[in-house]
Structure 1
Amino acid sequence: MPLAVPIENGLQCSILISSAIALALVTATVGLRLLAKHQFKGWDAGDLCALGAFVANTALHVLLILLVKYGAFGFHVQEIYARFSPDNATFFFKGIMAFAMIWNVTVCFSKLSVLFMYATLFVQESLLRWGRYIGIFVITWNVADIIAALVICKPIARNWDLTVPGTCGSQPKFYTSMGVINIVTDVAILGLPLPYLFSLQMPLRRKIMATGMLTIGVGTWVITIYRQTTLRNLDFADMTHAGVLATVLSGLEPSVAIALACLPQMRTLFVRKKPASYGYSSYSSRDNMAVPRDGEWTIQLRSLDGDSKELHGIRVKTTWDVVSDKPEGRDEEAEK
């Protein structure tokens, strides 16, 4: 372990502060999510993925803090060699390679937690099938990125020691492609349930509320897109100084994504009276309709096969009764 460097400039402080905020945010939101699900129905695969994302996110930001303290993150490379030690620079470049790999693990668990949440909310086979396809792609992409981070330089030691004979691929292209695919998968995941949601027979206001809850992750796109703009002119030869903003944004992005993905699951903690649930299932716009009962709306939607599905973590006070708008005799005639 190299000697610690002093904390003396604004770039170092910005890294430490952003990591502290990210750690606190994810710890609080994941903790509340797990508490809510434990009180309600117990943990499921989505909650376990959220827990995995929490562990990986914690490792990600602890690594950033160590890079500041022992890797001289925030100083120019030349200043590191002049004031401190080559060991500090070596520690940084080893750490930044590990950062890319841990980032992929964090993002993978975060996206899978959302896909598993859809599996608890929807019963349509087509949505579940597309969710599996997207999940397989996300896992494959993140594993490929981890491998690429290891082999982008040959031999591997050239990642942190440029005096070692060998070659390296284009790091700007590597990080840019990571960001682009990240946005594409986000669009696919957040857009997946929308056609099914808007086919439901419920008031437009409720559809908008549910859409907002399920697409709240759009907030991370601002960070992702802005980070992509910082990569174009990034000087990778002076990554210890020039890469501060891009790295901070890369650390904040999955943290915000995890926190936003947990918000819908925390709702039950703040609902005083346990309301009836509403489920997102496959509903026919012709065969099913909702009617008010006793002055309040009761949501209890049923799928075409007669099974009802609860929406875990998203609770509303209004409920619906689902009835058929066909004359009673038609169903009997159809059965004959």
Structure 2
Amino acid sequence: MSSTDNRSLELIAVTSTFLCITILSVGLRAFTRLHLVKWIGVDDALIICAAVAAIAESSATIIGIYSIEPTEYGLGRHIDEQLPEWREPYAKAILTTNFTYTISATFVKLSLLAFYIRLSLDTTLRFAIYVVIFVSASFGISSLLAAGLQCIPLSMLWDSNQPGHCININSFYFSNAGIHILTELLIYILPMRTLWKLHMPLKQKLGLCGLMGLGAMLIIISCYRIITIRDLLVSDDLTCNNESTQSLSLANSSLGNTVTPLMWYTIELNLAIFIACTPAFLAFFRHYLPSIFGGSSTQSNYQASPHRSSYPLGSITRSATHTNKSGQKMIVTAIDRPCFGSDNNNSEEMIVISGSGIQKKVEVWIENKVLKGQS
């Protein structure tokens, strides 16, 4: 196979591009939280951990192509271009991508779920969120264990001639991908009902739901990866094939080396981190570009909500008159305010910074006033 078919540069370009997107996204989120919101939550810490693991995953992918020397390890080259001495360092690099991808994907899920916990006080929803947290964490841990125990001894990944055994690759890939898609689907569906019940203009509701709807892109990518798994298992050239499922195929192939699936792993992972950071983008741009994205306001123009259990995010004033025992009328004024303060009404990022869900408080004062016609 001609070296002109080498797809190494293609993989490096995709990996580097999406790695930059992750670094910029998480950096912008951290800046917004620390300097604008001046508050950082568990979900922020988790997404930072996810970004660190994603950087490690991308680095391991590039190392699979070039070592420190640099010597190419064969990632992106066809099987007839591989050298025997590339097998072990390449296998270790791709095994590292397997671990770091799983760690990063798990942290992204946990970050989103931690954000949901701060978003709602609904007991049923919070219970469902905790269940999905348990499932996601358990799935991540089990995937790491499976990757570490896929072959006994693990050195069979680069030396299949020694005694030992490996797990059923086909079953692992399909079951792993199926559970991953299921947890993603649950995570992006969970908050829809709560977001829709928020008392805010329809445009903002659709915007919030649209942000969560971006998760559909990740689910589509995950489904596509199942197709790549199927095609990989019948491929004769696993070293430069367009389909792969990372390091587990190493034990049963010459180098288990692939390009397109690794690129889709990278795209999916970094896109998930980007989506998780989008609420911070809204707060950032509304602060620095209020004329385009709309700034904060202390006044609310919201209309009455059709939902019995919802209420305005902005402050509203209600007044009523009351006649005391002496026959004098008084004006009683009550103002409903969000618990986080009155100057952050318009930002989806601000409505949950209290860490206790979306709440309100009522300020009441009584004004003694002799109304016209009363003496």
1:31 aligns with 2:27: yes
Which digits, 9 at most, give the CA deviation of each residue in 1:264-295, with x for residues without a partner? 122111113333599xxxx99336665xxxxx
Match of 2:188 in 1: 190
Matches within 5 A, 1:1-336: 9-39=5-35, 40-69=37-66, 70-81=72-83, 86-235=84-233, 238-242=237-241, 243-271=258-286, 272=290, 273-275=295-297, 285-286=307-308, 299-300=314-315, 308=338, 314=348
Identity rate, percent: 23
Which digits, 9 at most, give the CA deviation of each residue in 1:215-248, with x for residues without a partner? 3222222321222111102047743322211111
Structure 2: distance between partners of 1:146 and 1:47 = 23
CA gap of 1:217–1:275, structure 2 versus 1, over 3 A, is: farther
Structure 2: distance between partners of 1:276 and 1:34 = 26
Structure 2: distance between partners of 1:78 and 1:10 = 11
Matched residue count: 294
Per the normalisation by structure 1, the TM-score is 0.78
Structure 1 unaligned regions, length at least 5: 1-6, 291-297, 317-321, 325-336
Q: Is the 8 A contact 1:29 1:259 kept in 2?
A: yes
Structure 2: distance between partners of 1:121 and 1:77 = 51
Which digits, 9 at most, give the CA deviation of each residue in 1:28-78, with x for residues without a partner? 000001111112132111111110011000000000000011421012334
Which digits, 9 at most, give the CA deviation of each residue in 1:151-205, with x for residues without a partner? 1212211122111122222223322222221111111011111122333444433
Q: Is the 8 A contact 2:315 2:337 kept in 1?
A: no
Shift in Å, 1:263: 1.0
Q: Is the 8 A contact 2:6 2:77 kept in 1?
A: no
Match of 1:295 in 2: none
Amino acid at match of 1:229: I
Structure 2: distance between partners of 1:191 and 1:166 = 43
CA gap of 1:300–1:186, structure 2 versus 1, over 3 A, is: farther
Q: Is the 8 A contact 1:101 1:146 kept in 2?
A: yes
Q: Is the 8 A contact 2:64 2:73 kept in 1?
A: yes
Shift in Å, 1:129: 1.8
Which digits, 9 at most, give the CA deviation of each residue in 1:133-156, with x for residues without a partner? 111111110110111011121221
Structure 1: distance between partners of 2:108 and 2:238 = 27
**Higher helix proportion (structure 1 or 2):** 1
Structure 2: distance between partners of 1:246 and 1:257 = 16
Amino acid at match of 2:53: A
The alignment's C-alpha RMSD in Å is 3.0
Q: Is the 8 A contact 1:145 1:178 kept in 2?
A: yes
Q: Is the 8 A contact 1:29 1:262 kept in 2?
A: yes
Q: Is the 8 A contact 2:296 2:347 kept in 1?
A: no
CA gap of 1:183–1:313, structure 2 versus 1, over 3 A, is: farther
Give the structure with higher Rg (CA). Answer: 2
Q: Is the 8 A contact 1:120 1:312 kept in 2?
A: no
Match of 1:330 in 2: none
